[in-house]
A and B are shown apart, each in its own frame.
Chain A
């Protein structure tokens, strides 16, 4: 039988391929029930008994999976609730979701600490993610594999040592992170070339903050043009007015190694971007967990003040259809960052 997926709540398949919800949380006993709903807790809400299936996990049978996109759930023993610190759990039915833009500052208990990020990921059904921090040493404190995170190396041209970049890539980092705005250089700065040359040699992508000023998509395109074999991902698809987003999309249409990432874009915007550049050029990302454990489901909504990630993703996935949704929600990132076959990919 297949092992249950990592995390407190995950999928588990029996020998015949039937799928169950598996629970690995702190609660134990014969009275446990899975309290669940589909697609954002739409009525009716259901309960299913959790039964022991191994030494450290229990399973519940949940019907009608083929008719829905996601299971939202919590666990109760009749008196207490394991509801993931109040933000519940989500499992996507048709794919393993990956968040291509995350931040984790270390082991601290705050919003940017690894435990908070884990809570947020479970609330949105994120199986794994791509993470960076402005001080690379912070990631050294954390078991990224256990946290299901793939680290990026934060590069400051002229400051970050090339040997450090090589060493971190060999140690498991999956690409580079550039933030021209915070680090004060244009995204097409020639001082970046030695770093990008390493990614070209090793075969990994570069993720670059995109926003007005130094991180403008025009600069990022020029960088991508100098290294046409290196995938360059524009984080945020321009964190600024919609004119910049349109320009970013145009650059992606015209420059084959450019990609868009969608953090802080509402679902209707993402749908438009996918229609514009194609489903294979867009990666879902969220900037989790800048807004803490409720990053994906915060109220008031944190995506342009009008949508939560969890609500927006349901609209997006429904609108894209299964193949495009699978690409945007994880397969594109797995392909670009070469994660397939990795133990937590």
Chain B
């Protein structure tokens, strides 16, 4: 399966940051983010001092639920979870429009990433 790759970076704003995770999901354009249902969490690896970077592998198309048709146009929501000095902090939630440019064919479309709800939405480990 091919992906649409989006790079995300996080620059440490303090020396006592002990880890950063990114939480993200893809939603149809105009739809609200449903974090309990669609969340994906990934660790942000430190690629150089103070800089963390990760490639998000996003679907080339998602299914527009109202029409049932595939679309390459959707919203990516994400935020960072920052572990600092034993505590957790969260960034604001960012939203950006993604247009993968993929030809809209049903064979390449996937529903928004969904998985059974976890027992604990604030799980990390």
- Which residues of A line the B interface, CB within 8 A? 103, 105-114, 116, 132-135, 138, 156, 159, 179, 181-184, 209, 211-213, 235, 239-241, 244, 264, 287, 290, 304
Contacts and interface: CB of A to CB of B under 8 A. Distances in A.
Interface residues of B, number: 26
A103 B124 CA distance: 10
Given A133-B19, A182-B21, A287-B125, A110 B41 contact: no
A108 B42 contact: no
B3 to A, nearest CB: 11
A133 B43 contact: no
B125 A241 contact: no
A113 B18 CA distance: 10
B19 A182 contact: no
A2 B19 CA distance: 41
Contacts of A264: 119-120
Interface of B: 16, 18-19, 21, 41-43, 45-46, 57, 83-88, 115-120, 122-125
B125 A111 contact: no
B83 A240 contact: no
A68 B8 CA distance: 55
B118 A211 contact: yes
5 contacts: A110-B85, A111-B87, A134-B83, A287-B125, A304-B119
B4 to A, nearest CB: 15
Given A109-B85, A182-B124, A213 B115 contact: yes
Nearest to B89: A110
Contacts of B115: 212-213
B119 A240 contact: yes
A114 B19 CA distance: 15
Given A105-B86, A110-B87, A241 B116 contact: yes
The main secondary structure of chain A at its interface with chain B is: loop
Nearest to A302: B120
Given A156-B43, A287-B125, A134 B117 contact: no
Contacts of A133: 18-19
A108 B122 CA distance: 20
A135 B18 contact: yes
Nearest to A214: B115
A240 B119 CA distance: 5
Nearest to A101: B125
Contact of B84 (A108, A132, A156, A184): A108
Contacts of B21: 134, 182
Contacts of A135: 18-19, 46
B69 to A, nearest CB: 26
A183 B42 contact: yes
A320 B68 CA distance: 52
A211 to B, nearest CB: 6
Contacts of A244: 116
Given A105-B83, A107-B86, A290-B125, 8 more contacts: A105-B18, A105-B86, A108-B84, A134-B19, A135-B19, A184-B42, A184-B57, A287-B125
A183 B57 CA distance: 12
B87 to A, nearest CB: 3
A213 B115 CA distance: 7
B86 A134 contact: no
Contacts of A287: 125
